[in-house]
Amino acid sequence: MADDNQSGGQTASKGKAKKDRGLTFRARTTARLGAVQVLYQLMMNPDRQVEAAVRDFLEQPPPVDPDAEQDATLVPPATELLSKIVRGVHAGSEDLDSMIDGQVTGPWNAERIEPLLRCLLRAGAYELLNHSQFDSSLLIKEYMTVTDGFFSEKEPKLVNAVMDRLAKQLRG
C-alpha cells in the first residue's frame, strides 16, 4: 500500500476510498502549490541546486498565512509529485516557455508574464505534457486553485486560457 504523502496514490482499502481520494487530492494540490513555490525560488536564485531547493522546502515548508480567510491547515504534499514537477520544469523550461508563449494572446505577451506567473504556467504545461494519468480538466482546475492563491485579477483567467489551449494542442 502506497503512502499518500509520498506517492499521491490511493490505498487499496475500499472502506477508506472516499476519504483517501480527498486526502490524495489535497496532497496533490499542496504538491502543486509547493512545486510552484520551489520553482519561483529557483528562478530568483539561479545558482541554487534543484535537489537542495526541493529538500529544503520539504523539510521546512513556508508557514501558512494565519490571517487567511480559508482554513489554514495544509495537508502535507505528495512529495514524489512535487519533486517530479520541479525537476521536469527545471530541465525543460525553455521548451515549456516556447509552448506557453505560443498560447499567450491579447494584451498579454511573453515579456509581460511575471516570474511567479511564469512558474505557474510552466508547472501546468509540464503536467499537461507529462502526466497523462490526470485529466486535463483536473489539471486546469488545480492550477486555477493555485493561481487564485497568489493572484486575484486577470492572471487566473490567463492561466485558464493558456492551459485550456495547451490541453487541446497536446491532448486533442
Task: Quote the pLDDT of residue 25.
Answer: 61
Least confident of 5-19, 49-63, 109-123: 5-19
Task: Quote the pLDDT of residue 61.
Answer: 77
What residue has cell string 486560457?
A: 161
DSSP classification of residue 109: -
Per-residue b/e over 19-39, b at no fewer than 16 CB within 10 Å? ebeebbbbbbbbbbbbbbbbb
Backbone angles phi, psi at 63, to 5 degrees: -65, 150
Comparing 131 with 19, the larger pLDDT belongs to 131
Q: Where are the alpha helices (DSSP H) in the chain?
A: 4-7, 17-44, 50-59, 79-101, 115-130, 136-150, 155-171
134-168 residue pLDDT tens: 999 999 999 999 999 899 888 999 999 999 999 99
Q: Which domains does the chain have, with CATH numbers?
A: 7-171 (1.10.940.10)
3-state DSSP assignment of residue 111: helix
Task: Quote the pLDDT of residue 56.
Answer: 95
Comparing 100 with 73, the larger pLDDT belongs to 100
